[in-house]
Amino acid sequence: MNKVMSNKWIIILYTFPALLLIAVLIVIPLILSGYFGLMDWDGIGAMEFIGLDNYIAALQDTKFWDSTLHSFLLALFSACSLIGYLAVALILASKIKGASLLRKIYLIPMLLSSVAIAQLWIKVYNPSNGMLNSILLGLGIDNPPAWLADPNIVLYAIFVPIIWQYAGFYILIYYAALKNIPESLIEAAKIDGATPLQIALKIKIPLIMNVFKVTIVLSIVGSLKYFDLIYVMTGGGPNGASEVMASYMYKLAFSSYNFGYGSAIGFLLLIITLIVTVIIRKLTVSKDEIQY
């Protein structure tokens, strides 16, 4: 058994395609981006090696730290919202009537591209004609906020569509995980007189803990490098109030023609994400594997 399952050649064969692709298309660009970060380069003319100046400049750049803070806030909110998605998935995976239809409906928004979602939420947030403010005015609330214009609100306003956009993704994963639990375990618990809530907390959730831990990593990493809706809906504005690391990196590299500095920020983004991931793994991964 052990001999078969540790056959070197088979391991190489099975991991080679993945490793080759990742080494060539991800690791090399990554190293290059770290290398460009050592250059004073507008992306067009000659490069000039300036050592760690870009990285030092980044550490002293308040805009970089602000955008880092914003990215971390997004990661925090995204990770917290996972609990809500798990609850929804538990309901959808239970045997209530219409669960199958509800599941399909719930996942539909996830099919839309960011372009569509951005347009929808721009209309939601429009200060004078928007859906949200129309409703608020209808409820008798005068002077509803200008969601995307107010620097104190814009960041949280833009988190809502981002978190909503990924709801389907996580619900789908949890749903599949829950459906993977052998029916016999749940039946046995029912016979013992366990309530649905007890079954969820004591049996289902522990059994999908591995999947849950993976989604924590996915949501935090995804949040830290998030770009799409921010770029389309606010462009990081007003005056940087909704800037995140990836949008700041893009702005520097592509709009400000500061490619060297942008690359350095991109590389720092990766390093930060890496450190956070290692910490999360350390905190969540336990030695004892859950077995049926």
Partner 1 sequence: MKMKKAVTFLTVLFASIFLLAACGGEDSGGNGTSSGNTKSIKFMHLWPEGSSAQHHKVVNEIITDFEAENDGITIDLEVLSNEQYKDKIKVLSTSNELPDVGMTWAAGYMEPYVNGNMFAAVDDIIESDLSDSFVPGTAEAFSIDDTAYGLPLELNISTIFYNKAIFDEYSLEEPQTIEELHEIVDTLNENGVNPIALGNRDAWTGSMWYMYLADRFAGEEDVLTQAINREVSFEDPALVQAAQEIQKLVESGSFVQGFNGLADEEAKSMFMGEQAAMYLIATWDLPNFTTNEDVPQEFRDSVGYFKFPTVDGSGDSNSYVGGPGVGLFVSENSDVKEEAKAFASYFVQQWGEKAVTEVGIIPATKVDADSLDLPQMYVDVLNDLNEATNITLYADVQMSASAAQVHLDMIQALFGGDVTPEGFAKTHEDTLSAEE
Partner 2 sequence: MRRIGYTLLYVCLGLVAVFQIFPILWLFMFSLKSNQEIFAGNPFALPLEPRWENYLKVFDGGIGTYFWNSIWITALATVLTILVASMATFAITRMKWKLSSLVLGLIMVGLMIPIHSALIPLYNMFLNVNLIDNPLSIVITYVTYNLPITVMILLGFYTTIPREIEEAAIIDGSSIHRLFFRIILPISAPIMSTTVIINMIYNWNEFVFVNTFISSEKYKTLTVGIQNFIGQYMTDWGAIGATLVISVLPIIVAFLFFSNKIMEGITASAVKG
3-32: which residues touch partner 1 (CB under 8 A)? Answer: 10, 13, 16-17
One-letter amino acid of 287: K
Between the CA of residue 131 and those of 136, 138, 226, 280, what are the distances in Å? 9, 11, 25, 38
Please choose which of partner 1, partner 2, none residue 156 contacts, taking the beta carbon within 5 to 8 angstroms, the exact cut-off set by kind. Answer: none
Q: Is 273 in the site for partner 2 (CB under 8 A)?
A: yes
Restricting to residues 175-214, which ones interact with partner 2 according to CB under 8 A? 175-177, 179-180, 182-183, 207-208, 210-214
With contact defined as beta carbons under 8 Å apart, do 252 and 265 qualify?
A: yes
Q: Residue 112: which of partner 2, partner 1, none does it interact with, CB under 5 to 8 A by kind?
A: partner 2
Tell which positions 110-139 bind partner 1, by CB under 8 A: 122, 125-129
- DSSP alpha helix (H) spans, 181-258: 183-191, 196-198, 205-207, 209-224, 228-233, 245-250
Residues 26-45 that bind partner 2 (CB under 8 A): 26-30, 32-33, 36, 43
Task: Look at residue 48 and give its three-state secondary structure.
Answer: strand
Report the nearest approach of partner 1 to the CB of residue 156 (Å).
13
- Residue 15: exposure state from Cβ atoms within 10 A (0-12, 13-18, ≥19): exposed
Using the rule CB under 8 A, which residue among 79, 137, 146, 217 binds partner 2?
217
Report CA torsion sign: 132, 133, 137, 143: positive
Nearer to partner 2, 112 or 194 (CB): 112
Contact pick of 47, 57, 79, 91 for partner 2 (by CB under 8 A) = 91
Provide the minimum distance between the beta carbon of 248 and partner 1 in the complex, in angstroms, as a whole number.
Answer: 10
Q: For residue 174, what are the contacts with CB-CB under 8 A and spacing of at least 6?
A: 85, 86, 89, 90, 93, 208, 211, 212, 215
Question: What does the binding site for partner 1 look like in residue numbers (CB under 8 A)?
Answer: 10, 13, 16-17, 42-46, 122, 125-129, 146-151, 154, 234-235, 237-240, 251-252, 254-259
